[in-house]
Amino acid sequence: MDTAKLREDLVFSATLRGHCLTFHTTWGVFNPKSVDAGSRLLVEHLEVAQDATCLDLGCGYGPVGLTLACLAPQGQVHLVDRDFVAVEYARQNAQRNGLGHCQVYLSNAFSHVPADLRFDLVASNLPAKVGNEMLTLILSDTWHRLNPGGYFYVVTVAGLKDYIKRNFRTVFGNYEKIRQGGTYTVARAVKE
């Protein structure tokens, strides 16, 4: 087996919301050979102002966050992940695609997001396996870190849709199903 070949970056391009982006990835990050169907569904349904301050929570190598950066060219976009390899690839992908208004850094959800930052939009392809405790922290912290009128968009596997519906209503007081696919659901809550 040629292990040297396995160590080379995987490189592909994807058109997301009309923007062609080039991604470098590696084995061991989530969905390294293409943008996964859940992230694609999420970015197709984001509504974001051109000057929005956004956060991609659990950015991986960056497909959601870099799409946000394309949609908010006068804004500021933060991409965070708890995986240092994913963060490094997301940082390099932002540079490769000329998206200088992105800040990419290591953070377990909001643990290292500067405390004074507030967001107009938070988006996440929520992993199903982080556990209820982490999901509770993510929902609570997102509510506290959104500006009034700010949105929290998530895409989840269908098995989490009732959990999200129930907890969005508990934490935010509202829930809107944006898109239901066979495998994934995109939902949104607003901080009123």
- 42, 155 Cβ separation under 8 angstroms: yes
Residue ranges per structural domain of the chain: 3-190
- 90, 60 Cβ separation under 8 angstroms: yes
Write down the pTM of the prediction: 0.96
Model confidence over 72-121: pLDDT tens digits?
Answer: 999 999 999 999 999 999 999 999 999 999 999 999 999 999 999 999 99
- Residue 82's nearest CA partner among 33, 26, 138 is 138
* Among the four given CATH numbers 3.40.50.970, 3.40.50.2300, 3.40.50.150, 3.40.640.10, the one describing domain 3-190: 3.40.50.150
Model confidence over 20-78: pLDDT tens digits?
Answer: 999 999 999 999 999 999 999 999 999 999 999 999 999 999 999 999 999 999 999 99
Give me 114's structure tokens: 């500067």
Average pLDDT over residues 163-182: 95
- 60, 81 Cβ separation under 8 angstroms: yes
